[in-house]
Amino acid sequence: LTPVQKIIDVVYQGHGTPMAGPVSPRKPWYNDQLTPMGFSPEKAKKLLESSGWKDNNGDGILEKNRPEGQPLELRFELAYNQGSPVTQTIADLIRQEMNKHGVMVKLAPLSGGALQEAGSQHNFDLLMTAFGGTAGADDFKQLWHTESWTGNGANYSGFGNKSTDALIDSLRIERNLEKRTEMYQRFQALVYEACPWVPLQFMDRKIIIHKRLHSAAMYFERPGLWIQELAPEPTLP
């Protein structure tokens, strides 16, 4: 029920790539066998119904019957960074789509510090955040190792076990590129199968250069452009 492509089209004017895992598709060890989750209200409805969530009273809200007491309605809060108009718009799009299909989302805007604390303290229903990377080798320990869950780190979802921890630790010392690529792709498949998150998009960097400048080259690392390389267009004598 997360409208990833709609978010890319509306918020970023189409300048984004849907994600399937935690590695950039521009890296050689990206697992291109994984398909982004996609938006499918029909599939979501089947999954929810198979778990007991149905709109039994016709009020537009999914609920699950309990042995005693009132049925449990499907409601939760979405925490996100309140300081960005972009994240506000994304949160609104997610809320609108989920509410439309009986999943009641209440927006919970937080300051950057409060959002990070909520994630590290595991005090949230659903949390939206962003992570950046580099052009170098990926190190999954901060985001995906169980030590980063028990130690109040950035593994907000609680993903992982001894097997995935061992793979993460081994990746940090493996020097053979062919072996490391296989390990990277295996790890991406494990995250994909467990589905601890709903990936949104990899951003396409947008850089504008005046036509009077030339010798421009684009780079993966921020800011994506080496200013010293730019030079004025040579003038004819």
Q: pLDDT digit of tens for each residue in the chain (237 aa)?
A: 999 999 999 999 998 889 999 998 889 999 999 999 889 999 999 999 999 999 999 999 999 998 888 899 999 999 999 988 999 999 999 999 999 999 999 999 999 999 999 999 999 999 999 888 788 899 999 999 999 999 999 999 999 999 999 999 999 999 999 999 999 999 999 999 999 999 998 877 778 888 888 777 777 777 778 888 887 766 655
What does the pLDDT read at residue 28?
Answer: 93
Q: What is the pLDDT of residue 134?
A: 81
User: DSSP letter string over the chain?
Assistant: ---HHHHHHHHSTT-EEE-SSSS-TTSTT--TT-------HHHHHHHHHHTT-B-SSSSS--EE--SSSSPEE-EEEEEEETT-HHHHHHHHHHHHHHHHTT-EEEEEEE-HHHHHHHHHTT--SEE-------SS----HHHH-THHHHTTSS-TT----HHHHHHHHHHTT---HHHHHHHHHHHHHHHHHH--S---EEEPP-----TTEE---B-SSTTSB-GGG-EEPPPP-
CA distances from 126 to 77, 79, 107, 168, 212 (A): 6, 6, 10, 25, 48
Single-letter amino acid, residue 93? L
Report the distance separating Cα 72 and Cα 53, nearest Å.
9
Q: What is the reported pLDDT for 105?
A: 97
Residue 141 in contact with residue 148, Cβ under 8 Å? yes
**What pLDDT is stored for residue 234 in this prediction?**
65
One-letter amino acid identity for 140?
F
Q: Report the predicted TM-score, pTM, of the whole model to 2 decimal places.
A: 0.85
> Which pLDDT score is estimated for 42?
96
